[in-house]
């Protein structure tokens, strides 16, 4: 049995190898095994291959690099990374020494994959850039499949070494080669990488296009559960990044069920971290903590300690949102001890925002500017946008309004250009609300700020908007009141009879501020009707009352409602008459106003 059918299946190959071993044809068995090893291991049934290895004489594993390569791949599938790395490194050295460059590249590709799976990015880069790329550049490797795999591995690595934009170029090159050789599986994984990278960059339209193509490849190639899991992961991130949390959560639970059933160990950890992140973003902190704890337990069970810094960092952000800054600091500092540069830059943004909340402006500014430089060089403008938001806040609170506005224009201008209304990472609703409220005040891309309030912040932005109602700008009042109306779903049915837009806007504002009782408004309106025979409200008198009992001076009342100070004085005198407060008996005019205010409070009008 020296030959196989043109398209052998796994049982046929395994039986052929077993027969050769039984006849002591070890050299032929080894060549057949190494030629078909990728097909044999693709379904994840590495135990069937492992069962064949003891049938080879032990000394052959020291003499034959092919057998070391096969055994290394089996150990890699079994999760025995250290043993796999040693075997593959020995095989790579032997292949390179004997100028079997294509086989050496296969070893380096697998070694790089193992390093990537353990977040060991520096070593992965060594295998790809120092071992493989020179061989391809010199024309010593002519197999297009290996070239495409190299491009794809580089596309996977680049985001983690600060070259996000470069990842797209490599993924496109991988896709072009795979398409040329009609490799649908390779096309799928190149498209997955393109969709994931463009999602991270905030180019959701391009990401959706690549995701659609990936789904087509998945269906046409019947690519299995691993491919399905990767697609689900992409869909979850697209929905999360675009603020569609209910859809993202539903899909995240489906993703978790799938990877748990298939026992994809890395995916199982990541699924739990992802659920924690989504529940945290949704403000469901108890559920977020539950999933982070599950992820931490699984990391301990599987001995995947390289995930620990990520869990520490994500839990730290949860503690920031909960207001537990001391615990958050401890977790972030723990994560920074074991991270490489890319991770450290990401984690130090968490630390910067802790310093913002702690009012340590100088430290926050330094950390944010360092991270901004890194992400600009990477081409990750979505992350840059988030950092510019917080730099706006740092400089605003430090009294540097001009610099704050420069960062604000950059952040909101980019969002406007991309037609986006938010960023997924480092999202701190109170701080983002403060920045967006400032944008409304200084009229910098106010339409983008409004979309962020309505589409992303919701009720979490209400306090920042209410604060704007205390300012002096009628335009800002109108914007803030309208946004509150949209966010809180207030219909103000109690003001249905008020047709004067200026008065209605002022009354809505006072209700939002808690300065005018909505429950007592109907009684107040009836009391202040001046045309009893028509039984219609007098909106101006009602508005003068609401402002006057809340301490507004006559000149400001006149300015707000657009009438003369003399008319306001007449309305106030009418109010004293209605509430039967005489002109005599008060030492100061303000004492008379205080009595009107007290009566209004007793009758629960304010």
Half-sphere exposure of 425 (CA within 13 A, CB side): 22
Quote the pLDDT of residue 212: 94
Here the CATH number for the domain that contains residue 529 is 1.10.10.10
3-state secondary structure 82-125: HHHHHHHHHHHHHHHHCCCHHHHHHHHHHHHHHHHHCCCHHHHH
Determine the Cα–Cα distance for residues 367 and 373; give it in Å rounded to an integer: 10
Q: pLDDT category, 6, cuts 50, 70, 90?
A: low
In a domain, 422, yes or no: no
Q: Do you know the residue count of the chain? A: 606
Residue 478 has pLDDT above 90, yes or no: no
For 585, the domain range is 520-602
Greatest alpha-carbon pair distance for the chain in Å reads 123
User: Which pair of tokens denotes residue 190?
Assistant: 């190149």
Residue 184 pLDDT > 50, yes or no?
yes
Return left, alpha or beta for 462; rule: phi > 0 is left, psi -120 to 50 is alpha, else beta.
alpha
d(CA 159, CA 379): 10
CA-based angle 194:200:206, to the nearest 5?
A: 50
Indicate the Cα dihedral angle 270, 276, 277, 283, nearest 10°.
170
Q: What is the CA radius of gyration of the chain?
A: 33
Q: What is the mean pLDDT of the chain?
A: 89
Q: Over the stretch 556-575, which tens digit does the pLDDT of each residue have?
A: 899 888 889 999 999 999 99
Nearest-angstrom CA–CA distance, 176 and 181: 9
Mean pLDDT of 387-407: 97
Q: What is the pLDDT of residues 211-240, one digit of tens each?
A: 999 999 999 988 888 899 999 999 999 999
State how far the Cα of 480 lies from the Cα of 469, in Å rounded to an integer: 7
Quote the pLDDT of residue 481: 82
Alpha carbon 15 to its chain centroid, in Å, reads 49
Is there a domain that residue 254 lies in? no
Per DSSP, the residues of 142-162 read --HHHHHHHHHHHHHHGGGGT
pLDDT of 495: 79
Q: What percent of the chain has pLDDT over 70?
A: 96
Residue with tokens 């008379």: 592
Please tell me the total count of domains within the chain.
1
How much is the average pLDDT of 184-205? 94
Confidence of residue 375 (pLDDT cuts 50, 70, 90): very high
Instruction: Give dist(CA 388, CA 401) in Å, integer.
Output: 14
pLDDT over threshold 50, residue 1? no
**Which one is predicted more confidently, 338 or 345?**
345
First to last CA, the chain: 96
DSSP annotation of 494: G
If you average pLDDT over residues 113-122, what whole number do you get?
86
- In terms of C-beta density within 10 A (0-12 exposed, 13-18 middle, 19 or more buried), how is residue 588 classed? exposed
Q: How does residue 533 score in pLDDT terms, banded at 50, 70 and 90?
A: very low
- The reply to whether 526 falls in a domain is yes
With respect to residue 594, please indicate whether it lies within any of the assigned structural domains: yes
pLDDT value of residue 313: 94
Q: Express each pLDDT in 237-278 by its tens digit.
A: 999 999 999 999 999 999 999 999 887 778 999 999 999 999
- Residue 589 lies inside a defined structural domain of this protein: yes
pLDDT band at 149 (very low <50, low <70, confident <90, very high): very high
Half-sphere exposure of 494 (CA within 13 A, CB side): 16
Decide if 268 is inside a domain: no
- Give me the pLDDT at residue 26, please: 86
Between the alpha carbon of residue 61 and those of residues 57, 69, 81, the distances in Å are: 8, 9, 18
* Token pair 């996977």 in the structure block, residue: 156
pLDDT > 60? residue 62: yes
**pLDDT 10s digits, 274-327:** 999 999 999 999 999 999 999 999 999 988 888 899 999 999 999 999 999 999
In a domain, 295, yes or no: no
Q: Establish if 588 belongs to a structural domain.
A: yes
């Amino acid at each position: 049995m020296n030959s196989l059918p043109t398209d052998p299946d796994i049982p046929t190959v395994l039986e052929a190898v077993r027969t050769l071993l039984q006849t002591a044809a070890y050299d032929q068995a080894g060549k057949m095994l190494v030629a078909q090893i990728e097909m044999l291991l693709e379904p994840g049934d590495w135990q069937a291959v492992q069962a064949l290895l003891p049938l080879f004489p032990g000394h052959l594993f020291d003499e034959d690099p092919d057998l070391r390569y096969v055994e290394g791949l089996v150990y890699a599938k079994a999760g025995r990374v250290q043993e796999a790395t040693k075997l593959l490194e020995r095989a790579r050295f032997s292949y390179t020494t004997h100028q079997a460059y294509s086989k050496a590249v296969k070893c380096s590709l697998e070694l790089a994959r193992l390093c990537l799976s353990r977040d060991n990015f520096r070593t992965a880069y060594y295998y790809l850039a120092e071992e493989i790329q020179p061989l391809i550049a010199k024309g010593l490797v002519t197999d297009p499949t290996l070239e495409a795999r190299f491009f794809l591995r580089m596309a996977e690595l680049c985001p983690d070494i600060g070259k996000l934009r470069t990842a797209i170029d490599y993924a496109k090159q991988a896709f072009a080669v795979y398409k040329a050789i009609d490799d649908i599986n390779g096309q799928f994984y190149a498209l997955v990488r393109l969709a994931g990278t463009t999602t991270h960059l905030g180019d959701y339209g391009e990401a959706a296009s690549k995701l659609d193509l990936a789904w087509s490849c998945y269906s046409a190639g019947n690519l299995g559960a691993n491919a399905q899991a990767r697609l689900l992961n992409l869909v979850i991130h697209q929905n999360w990044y675009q603020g569609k949390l209910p859809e993202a959560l539903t899909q995240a639970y489906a993703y978790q069920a799938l990877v748990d059933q298939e026992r994809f160990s890395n995916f199982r950890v990541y699924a739990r971290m992802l659920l924690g992140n989504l529940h945290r973003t949704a403000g469901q902190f108890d559920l977020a903590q539950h999933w982070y704890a599950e992820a931490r337990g699984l990391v301990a069970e599987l001995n995947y300690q390289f995930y620990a810094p990520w869990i520490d960092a994500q839990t730290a952000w949860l503690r920031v949102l909960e207001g537990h800054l001391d615990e958050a600091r401890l977790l972030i500092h723990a994560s920074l001890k074991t991270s490489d540069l890319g991770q450290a830059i990401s984690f130090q943004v968490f630390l910067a925002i802790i310093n913002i909340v702690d009012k340590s402006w100088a430290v926050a500014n330094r950390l944010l500017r360092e991270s901004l430089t890194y992400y600009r060089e990477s081409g990750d403008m979505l992350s840059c946008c988030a950092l510019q938001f917080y730099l706006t806040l740092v400089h605003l609170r430090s009294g540097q309004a001009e610099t704050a506005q420069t960062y604000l224009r950059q952040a909101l201008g980019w969002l406007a250009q991309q037609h986006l209304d938010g960023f997924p990472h480092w999202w701190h609703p109170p701080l983002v609300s403060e920045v967006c409220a400032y944008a409304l005040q200084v009229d910098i891309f106010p339409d983008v700020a409004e979309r962020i309030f309505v589409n992303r912040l919701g009720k979490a932005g209400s306090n920042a908007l209410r604060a704007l109602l205390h300012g002096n700008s009628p335009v800002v009042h109108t914007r803030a009141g309208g946004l509150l109306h949209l966010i809180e779903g207030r219909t103000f049915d109690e003001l249905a009879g008020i047709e004067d837009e200026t008065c209605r806007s002022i009354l809505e504002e006072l209700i939002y501020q808690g300065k005018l009782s909505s429950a007592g408004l109907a009684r107040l309106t009836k009391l202040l009707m001046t045309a009893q025979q028509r039984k219609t409200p007098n909106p101006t008198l009602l508005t003068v009352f609401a402002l006057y009992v809340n301490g507004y001076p006559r000149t400001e009342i006149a300015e707000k409602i657009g009438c003369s100070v003399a008319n306001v004085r007449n309305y106030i005198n009418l109010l004293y008459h209605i509430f039967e407060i005489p002109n005599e008996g008060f030492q100061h005019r303000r004492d008379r106003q205080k009595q009107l205010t007290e009566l209004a409070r007793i009758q629960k009008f304010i």
